[in-house]
Amino acid sequence: MSNVETPVAEAARPFVVSRVFDAPRRLVWKAWTDPEHMQWCGPKGATIRRVKFDFRPGGLFHYGMRPPAGNEMWGKWAIREIAEPERLVFVNSFSDEAGGLARHPMSATWPLETLSTITFAERDGKTLLTVQWLPVNATESEIATFNAGHESMKGGWTGMLDQLADCLATAK
């Protein structure tokens, strides 16, 4: 019998980011679930084009996004759970224009799908929003890319949550 241990595949580490918004939970929920209020959801200056918005468990949000200095990209949410106004769970992915799965346009080893769990907690008239991401059905290489990308994801989410804060400041 050998004393050499078989290497264990790298486990996915959840990516988590939280922010307290100076807005009631119902308004923050609306900004995430009403397509008319989702322009904040992307890189700064990007325009979001809704193709399909079927907001129910089993439904789909399919969208196009055009960054200010870039080509249009596509994404989708396959909605798994809606617990209004506390929790939203969906599988997030890049897609093509027809809604099929697509690779990240800048990373061939980014997971095809990530499980997104968004929670909305009331805090004295404000809202604590928490985003958690985990790869779904990912290869070892995809998990390694995901784990290594936490700092980059933090930067991207910080920018998007800044835009959400601006949106909430003018929303009703």
Q: How far apart are CA 148 and CA 138, in angstroms?
A: 14
- Tens of pLDDT, residue by residue over 31-76, are 999 988 887 887 777 888 888 999 999 999 999 988 887 788 999 9
pLDDT surpassing 60 at residue 142 = yes
Each domain of the chain, given as residue ranges in start order, spans: 15-170
The H or E element that residue 62 is part of is: strand 60-66
With a CB cutoff of 8 Å and minimum separation 6, the contacts of 49 are: 63, 64, 65, 66
Q: Which fold has domain 15-170?
A: Alpha-D-Glucose-1,6-Bisphosphate; Chain A, domain 4 (3.30.530)
pLDDT surpassing 50 at residue 2 = no
